Amino acid sequence: MYQVHVRRHFDSAHALRGYQGKCERLHGHRWEIVVCVERAELDACGMAFDFTVLKRELDAVLDTLDHRNLNETPPFDQMNPSSENIARMVFQILRERLPDAGVRYVEAWESPDAWATYRED
């Protein structure tokens, strides 16, 4: 099995509704998003998946979140903009946009030492 990973970032603010602590107040992050695509075979060029295509599609998703208050941005106007929910949303959209890519998981890093991973096994 081959795995291809890309890492991109976006900047945004959010507040965790119902959280008992500092993160309930509006604050910002430079989010790092890692996407893993998994394939058993290589294509005719010897690649599992084209980095350029994966970056382009991920950038399109992240552009909807960049420099925004996530609490006012769908779907997070209805659900908490937690790292877990961000990872799941990015995963689901990329699965729709790249149905044959073999998206394995998405990581949403809110700081250099804290992240959430979403996968569907």
- In sequence order, what DSSP letters do the residues of 9-68 get, joined into one string? EEEEEE--TT-SSGGGS-EEEEEEEEEEEEESS--TTS-SS-HHHHHHHHHHHHHTTTTE
Determine the topology of domain 2-119 in CATH. Answer: Tetrahydropterin Synthase; Chain A (3.30.479)
List, in sequence order, every residue forming a beta bridge with 34; answer none if it has no partner: 7, 107
When the pLDDT of each residue in the chain is averaged and rounded to a whole number, the result is 97
Pair 5, 35: CB distance under 8 Å: yes
Q: What does pTM read for this prediction? A: 0.95
Q: Which pLDDT belongs to residue 69?
A: 98
Q: Which pLDDT belongs to residue 121?
A: 81
Percent of the chain with pLDDT over 90: 99
Q: Classify 96 as helix, strand or coil.
A: helix
pLDDT in tens, 36-88: 999 999 999 999 999 999 999 999 999 999 999 999 999 999 999 999 999 99
